[in-house]
Amino acid sequence: MDVSIVIPTKNGGALFDEVLTMIDKQETEYEYEVICVDSGSTDDTVDIIKRHHCILKQIDKTEFGHGKTRNLGASLGTGEFIIFITQDALPYDTHWIQNFIDGMKSDPEIVGGFGKHYPYPDCNIFDKRDLTLLFQGYGTTNTIYQLEDKERYKNEEGYRHLLAFYSDNNSCMRRDIWEKYPYDDVNFAEDQIWAKKMIELGYKKLYCPYAGVYHSHNYELETYKQRFYDEYKGIYTIHQYVMVKDIPHLLVGYYRFVKNNLNYVNTLDMDAAEKGGYEHFMLKEIHEQPTAVNWYRFCSAYMAGKYYRSSKSKQEKMDQKFSQQLRQINQ
């Protein structure tokens, strides 16, 4: 077997059916298998998996963990390469597998790679902008990253982020490397923790824009707050970096963020349909949540920074109140 595709699932819905349908349509010389690890779906996700003839492993919701569940899925396969995607990451085209594995094989020192993310059509303009710019920054063609300047890596936060970024929404690794270095059993950021370890061991990482998926979200406000909290906790775990150190930093950062968004909107040519009946597009966006989302971004980053200065009992209370990962496990 050339490729094992591992997908953790829970209540994937109709979009997940589309994901598996696109995987079935892949045009590739590589033989592949699809492995789904389901943690307690109550909708028709399990039926969808069976209909597409995937390998199915069912676990209790309390057994789920981002690292250990992916490790479990990988252990059930035999592919030389392991592709990890999420249940809402839709392959961009029918050459996704072919392009990913071709890129991974281009250099024997590449141990892992990640592909491009495209925003779904309903993605709000700010997330669409941020997602597009993020992946443009990694290159417009297959690009290999490795630790070449240890002094810069030691002193420059941005350089460390560049080398450690890795996304299991759409990633690939060699099985022989996974067997030596499986994911850590953590609640968040297992992908970037793994990539950071590989970079520091001297291995190479691939960015493959030709292996893209559609992946973006329009969450409820409460979910954004919870996800930001987990995200910034993960950033601290990886880099010991606190985005928002205190209340003044929070207020200044939020003001600058909103100002930049206003400036960005003023550069856009919006027609009446996109303004949705509002005099200015920003009024529409304010009405439809993004300014509140950004407020939650900074507040959650502040709370995540406080987490590591708190006692263990306080940390447990904060996780109960703010963590999406914990709520998903307990649902």
Give the pLDDT of residue 279: 44
pTM: 0.81
92 plus 186 within the same structural domain: yes
205 plus 183 within the same structural domain: yes
> How many structural domains is the chain composed of?
2
Candidate from 151-165, 292-306, 309-323 with smallest mean pLDDT = 292-306
Most confident of 142-146, 231-235, 267-271: 142-146
161 plus 23 within the same structural domain: yes
pLDDT, one tens digit per residue, over 71-88 is 999 999 999 999 999 999
Candidate from 97-101, 167-171, 240-244, 314-318 with smallest mean pLDDT = 240-244
107 plus 158 within the same structural domain: yes
pLDDT value at 153 more than 50: yes
Pairing of strands 204-214, 143-145: antiparallel
DSSP label at residue 184: P
* 134: Cα within 13 Å, side-chain hemisphere: 17
Q: Domain holding 24: CATH number? A: 3.90.550.10
Alpha carbon distance 273, 133 (integer Å): 25
Candidate from 136-150, 236-250, 276-290 with smallest mean pLDDT = 276-290
Name the residue range of residue 257's domain: 221-330
14 plus 60 within the same structural domain: yes
Alpha carbon distance 124, 218 (integer Å): 8
Query: Are the C-beta atoms of 3 and 32 separated by less than 8 Å?
Result: yes
185 plus 233 within the same structural domain: no
208 plus 251 within the same structural domain: no
Alpha carbon distance 118, 129 (integer Å): 10
pLDDT value at 308 more than 80: no
298 plus 228 within the same structural domain: yes
Query: Are the C-beta atoms of 45 and 86 separated by less than 8 Å?
Result: no
175 plus 271 within the same structural domain: no
201 plus 246 within the same structural domain: no
50 plus 159 within the same structural domain: yes
Give the pLDDT of residue 256: 74
Give the end of a domain, one of 214, 237, 264: 214
192 plus 259 within the same structural domain: no
Q: What is the mean pLDDT of residues 134-152?
A: 94
Alpha carbon distance 297, 250 (integer Å): 10
